[in-house]
Structure 1
């Protein structure tokens, strides 16, 4: 297959696959190789590319530094053609070279192994009086048309740069394979020339040029080059809005990315250490924030818990977290870890109630290959994986007594052996435990080792049940509603006052976990913007008893006269106002009432920013 036929087949296949044809103007073997690696269909060996490789703007190729054709022949024959023999390499030819006839240039191109030619450097990039003189002396664009006509006759693949409709018609009549609308020097980077045409102006120019081509031969391939196009998004704009089959670029593929890459790489080498230290510090700060962000609550009892967490987090002591199911014991463990000196190390969790004793031992300490049936390879245990970090033992109260002795040893000596192994392994691990059983009673009943209890319980943190801080329910609900909005991609939903009052009256034996479950169900099943009381499905045993008041409600002063419902409503409205920074319009929208109704309730309950400290 002839080279020209191979190129035409390549273009046909690319268009059949709905992919643009990409041509890259290069000036060195390195850039040519990388362009091919990136998927370039056509390589254009142009003198401008050689100047760019030397750090000189493309426009330097228009100056009399050297013979343009000899320059391209030289670097192409040494760096590109021998290494990319199976690639379509197009030679940029200066058609007005006084040292060669057109036939000699064509023969040279064929002898060196080029696939085709392109009219570059071109007088189309020159204007003004100098351009007029060149045209008068027979060194103008007509020479380029004549040369391309002879190249077509020589069966070379031809890409013609054109700058207006007249040139487009002439090159199409000459029979070139590709008419490429040239928009001038590529804009962008530090060494670009000044470009006056905008994307839309270039699109208008493209439409006019391509229309002129279609007048002569609609089957001629059409492409674009240079100007304001220096990103895939820019090129796509032309693919979508014109007949172009692709884009040819030089600076946009090598000069601009190279300038950025060299600058950025040098900056990274220069500032890497400093940035690494800053990132390490910022990561610690973000982890600390992450640790507390997941815990919600502003009540006094929650503030006391936060204070205790802050006091012990960076102290390398073991902590025992006690609390009912659903009160957030794991979140406290995370806060302890991410606010400790071990925050950049691993946080490993083990549920001691989820596995039988023999499997839990292997889970904690790991095992050697062949230690028991099914142990077909060595496995690292959680203590090893948590080295230099924190091991969170959830449901520690369910651990078998015999296994407790082995855990005691590792706490005391920070060493252990894998199951079936003899090698002693040393670790540096902080242990945080959690349980929902009464450990003291378990010790008294000989279900938990007393010595292990004291080793684990250096500091005890109690997570309060939700019924002891019902004033945090509005905050929890808002957090969960925001979470569900994102999770289920729903419109924003808010709780109506009757729904909020009902939630605050429930005893919540399942605590925050149960509240979240009830709210999630209501969000999914409710209609409209507001969740009403009827949308709530609470277990029968978990519903509020008729006439009962939540245990945590304490009223003071004038509020003694309020009914339970009024007290709940006033607390709810106060929390919403605080969350909205006392913006009444926003608060009314979130509650689901009019601004006038909200104003009346503020007056009724004597709510004000000054009254916040009286709670």
Structure 2
């Protein structure tokens, strides 16, 4: 009885509900002494000592309180009497479980009275069970009717009773029994690391709450209607619902202990980690390199960025063809600006989308009756060409391109004239950082040409210390300034740093757009920023195999040349015999 011998006045005061005239009654479902003390300091009007709160403190989701892993009554009695009652002065309601084999309403009332609780709440309860289970419990005499009967006895004895209600018939029965506090529960909370998916919108919750409250007040005008659970995870959410339904109070479970704890601990640790970060001193040479990079649109000052700029600076001074390897979603404009001195629009061709004949004509030109029609390689004034995914072009075309660039001259296909190559080619390959620099399907002659002349751009996940600077640059590029975006808390920044960024800058730009739409009111925490991140990469079609590509290009060439084998072979820059052999190998029948 040590926990309940604080004197008659103290026990009586804990049974009295504070006056909340003109404001919401706020309750907190807690599972430990520190949670109870913190809730009292925060201004909670009453506390609920329930097993689900204890399970949250143990690192389990709230729903574990409904599972047969611990005896609910014994667990609740132990922590509530030992940790909560001696440490707070606000009313504490004891969670009672009507499913215990030896449960009786009289025994529940005795536990409340003997230990000094202000009253009782039905938890765990039938409301949180599936409909079929609720019906079976009710037929066995252990369902919502037994819970209402028990709470009615507690209230009749002068104690407070709070009834968890989740169905219209339950609300009606509770009102008919004269229960003074009815809690409309909308299921387990969404949000946080252990939260459930949203099953109802705030608008739906507001309309249902309004309907239930009207029903209860018609039967029992003095009843106080409280709300808990579901999509209501913030004060803004509660205000949204309260504008639709007239409420007397709110009870928070996960929203008042688990989610704030997750957020605060994450923020604290992230803050300590950031305090420990020290920017390495940069040499004058590195500072000059960063200024050069910023002039071309690069952001950041991390070691991977410095190494990349060093490499790009060296390549920009060379007047030969080279290759750039980068991941999906990375910006191309800065690297092109750095490599192309004239900084103007550069013609681009794509080995993935252009069929062999069209790509060949764009690069090498075409022999016409009046002479040679120049292609990009030999066109006057064309200094730089961007060629994407040349490995997807026909091997013969790749070989001809490699030989033309290596020799500096193009030999025309018909007249066998040599024309000087005036353009430099920048080859672009979309490659993961764990893949080789150059694709396996690239012709050996091109591999030899580009060996030592390939630069890989570091993906965003390798330079997360540059994240703030990259975000600022992307926001400025979108025409936004700091006032247009909400401030990011330490937890949000740490969550962004831990994200793998499969979409690189393109994915980060989407996050910035979502932040701009969210508005600048209040800091963004780690839990909120997680909702703005892409859940995963969008499903992408499987890459086209070399055989598929070759087959497609031959079919397109046949179609464009009216299925004339000789002209098709010429367009593909192969002999007629080679064309026949390839068609047979690829299953292209007459």
Give the TM-score range, shorter chain.
Answer: 0.3 to 0.5
Q: TM-score, normalised by structure 2?
A: 0.44
Q: TM-score, normalised by structure 1?
A: 0.43
Q: Relative contact order: is structure 1 or structure 2 higher (C-alpha 8 Å, sep ≥ 6)? A: 2
More helix by percentage: 1
Q: Which has the larger radius of gyration?
A: 1
